[in-house]
């Protein structure tokens, strides 16, 4: 049965982590995986999460299945987190299901689109998260790309993006990052979101919004601006969200797939249909992470505590952007890295070439993805001097 199977190519990020763990250099730095780290290099459990888990441990009475849609309370509170007091919620046009992380939400969204139109095309940004193409291809979709990042000028190629999307069919889907674009850190501004929403409404393609970092950019409401605007402008919308980063629930694998339909009748139909997709996939979603999140969002005290902890993470990432740019200048680097301070979230391209990336790994034990994408959260007061000195040397 398995005799002809060949080993798959190594995942560029997971493979990097393996090399990092095997490196004995005490100065080694891991800037690859998309995981938040504090200034000590740790990824601690949030205090609000510990409090919610203690509450659940004391009062949870059963471990029975929740059904294919997951916890209704979690789904309701996540929809409110994403959309606020949006008219779509008031009109009963929103349906949300719990999923195994944001990746699970994307896979279910892909399979649901494919069940509606077999072999449909979904457009993703170039560049995009490394797993997007694989997830959607595995779900049976045809994946195409639209321009997004201008590597030469270190900015958003919005004109190229819009020109490409004007050619998209009304039967296609278009994936867009809500905030903290992975891997570039470049986000649409409000005017650009307006133009994108108008184009989506004019052509009629299905927007699929990936929001994995809500709260890591400018704030919870600010980071949801684009998806809320789309909910104003289009009749149908898919939102794939994750609680891995903003709640620190990485290994608990909890996310959500939210569907916004033209009206409540259509919403009921697609809600039943997407649960059928779930049923023949993983059948039932995990419950623990959802229970933690719904407990936090259901308590004013824990929600306030979460907002404070999220603000600390957001501000630390923003500060590391400033610190890196200043430190490189202090080391005598003449190349302009100020673009890093104009981006959002954990990621940015350094804009160095493949040979320089490899030198950072081989000579200095600094691990970044081959595209030169770095995770700013991996920078700390203890490693910034060594990091900037090493970058200066390879430049």
Which residues are catalytically annotated?
129, 210, 245
Q: Is 176 left (phi over 0), alpha (psi -120 to 50) or beta?
A: beta
How far apart (Å, rounded) are the C-alpha atoms in residues 220 and 146? 27
Please calculate the CA angle 338-339-345 and round it to the nearest 5 degrees: 115
- For the chain, first and last CA: distance in Å? 50
CA pair distance 278, 110, nearest whole angstrom: 11
| CB contact burial 28-65 (16+ within 10 A = b; e otherwise) | bbbbbbbbbbeeeeeeeebebbebbbebeeeeeeeeee
CB 31 within 8 A of CB 366: yes
């Amino acid at each position: 049965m398995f005799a002809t199977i060949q080993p798959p190519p190594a995942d560029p990020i997971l493979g990097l982590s393996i090399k990092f763990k095997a490196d004995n250099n005490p100065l080694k730095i891991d800037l690859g995986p998309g995981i938040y780290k504090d200034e000590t290099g740790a990824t601690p459990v949030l205090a609000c999460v510990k409090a919610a888990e203690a509450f659940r441990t004391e009062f949870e009475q059963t471990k029975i299945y929740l059904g294919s849609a997951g916890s209704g309370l979690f789904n309701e509170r996540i929809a409110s987190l994403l959309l606020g007091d949006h008219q779509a919620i008031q009109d009963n046009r929103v349906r949300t299901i719990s999923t195994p992380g944001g990746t699970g939400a994307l896979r279910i969204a892909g399979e649901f689109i494919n069940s509606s139109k077999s072999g449909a095309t979904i457009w993703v940004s170039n560049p995009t998260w490394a797993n997007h193409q694989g997830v959607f291809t595995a779900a049976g979709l045809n994946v195409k790309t639209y321009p997004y990042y201008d590597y030469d000028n270190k900015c958003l190629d919005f004109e190229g993006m819009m020109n490409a999307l004007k050619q998209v069919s009304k039967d296609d889907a278009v994936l867009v990052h809500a905030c903290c674009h992975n891997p570039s850190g470049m986000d649409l501004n409000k005017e650009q979101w307006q133009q994108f929403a108008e184009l989506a409404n004019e052509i009629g393609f299905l927007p699929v919004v990936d929001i994995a970092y809500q709260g890591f950019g400018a704030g919870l409401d600010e980071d949801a601006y684009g998806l809320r605007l789309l909910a104003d402008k289009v009749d149908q919308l898919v939102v794939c969200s994750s609680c891995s980063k903003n709640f620190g629930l990485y290994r608990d694998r909890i996310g959500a797939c939210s569907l916004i339909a033209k009206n409540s009748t259509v919403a009921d139909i697609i809600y039943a249909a997407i649960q059928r997709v779930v049923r023949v996939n993983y059948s039932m979603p995990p419950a623990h992470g959802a229970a933690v999140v719904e407990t936090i969002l259901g308590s004013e005290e824990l929600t306030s505590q979460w907002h404070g902890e999220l603000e600390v993470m957001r501000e630390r990432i923003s500060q590391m952007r400033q610190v890196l740019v200043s430190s490189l200048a202090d080391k005598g680097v003449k190349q302009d890295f100020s673009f890093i301070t104009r981006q959002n979230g954990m990621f940015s391209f350094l804009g160095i070439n493949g040979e320089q990336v490899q030198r950072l790994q081989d000579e200095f034990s600094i691990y970044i993805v081959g595209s030169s994408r770095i995770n700013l959260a991996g920078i700390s007061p203890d490693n910034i001097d060594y990091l900037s000195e090493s970058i200066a040397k390879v430049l």
